Amino acid sequence: MMIRSLVEEIENYLKELLAQSPHGWIEVQRKDLAEKFACVPSQITYVLNTRFNLKCGYFVESRRGGRGYIRIWKIDSCFRGLFPEDAIPGDYLGLLHTLVQKGFLTEREAFLLNLVFRVIESKVHGEFGSFLNRQIFREVLTSLGFLRNLEEGTTGSQARLPDRKG
């Protein structure tokens, strides 16, 4: 993997640790990291703020003082299990049409999602493919509540792309 900057180097290192962690979270020390990467400790804070914030799908817990620590959690999917397994049948096109009709999605949004479903259909055969599509559709549905409140340009909604910079 090509490393572009110190920030990314540290980011990759932490994500690697996370990927290898069986718990879904890791614990590190800012001081140690700073030492390992030969940088100022606040650099670590910067990485945490810009790459591991809630919007990016991570949650950071920390403690100062002696025995201080930084714990990083990967938020897998906050909405897991909201829907019964086969609540959503395979005909996404129809569902997308309905959502457009009801004003939950724009034509373009539905177009893009349909594109996604088709790619997965064509590349992931069998049961797993439809499982994936179901998962995605589920996530879309659960975020529709947020989406609905997001008129173009409004601020403060959760239905936004996470910032690259925190």
Cα(17)–Cα(25) distance, integer angstroms: 9
Q: Which does 140 bind (CB under 5 to 8 A by kind): DNA, a second copy, none?
A: a second copy
Query: Tokens 């008129």 correspond to what residue?
Result: 151
**Closer of 67 and 102 to a second copy (Cβ):** 67
Distances (CA, A) of 131 to 84, 94, 141, 154: 12, 18, 15, 34
Cα(74)–Cα(61) distance, integer angstroms: 12
128 is a contact residue toward DNA (CB under 7 A): no
Concatenated DSSP letters of 77-101: -TTTTSS-TT-S-S-HHHHHHHHHH
Draw the binding track, 75-114, toward a second copy (x: CB under 8 A; -: no contact).
Answer: -xx--------x--xx--xx-xx--x-----xxxxxxxxx
Residue selected from 21, 43, 114, 135 as contacting DNA according to rule CB under 7 A:
43
Residue selected from 16, 42, 69, 145 as contacting a second copy according to rule CB under 8 A:
69
User: Are the C-beta atoms of residues 146 and 156 closer than 8 Å to each other?
Assistant: no
**Closer of 40 and 119 to a second copy (Cβ):** 119
- Of residues 80-119, which lie at the interface with DNA (CB under 7 A)? 97
Q: Which does 112 bind (CB under 5 to 8 A by kind): a second copy, DNA, none?
A: a second copy
- Per DSSP (E only), the strands in the chain are 25-28, 58-63, 69-74
- Of residues 58-87, which lie at the interface with DNA (CB under 7 A)? 60, 62-70
Draw the binding track, 130-159, toward a second copy (x: CB under 8 A; -: no contact).
Answer: -xx--xx--xx--x---x--x-x-----xx
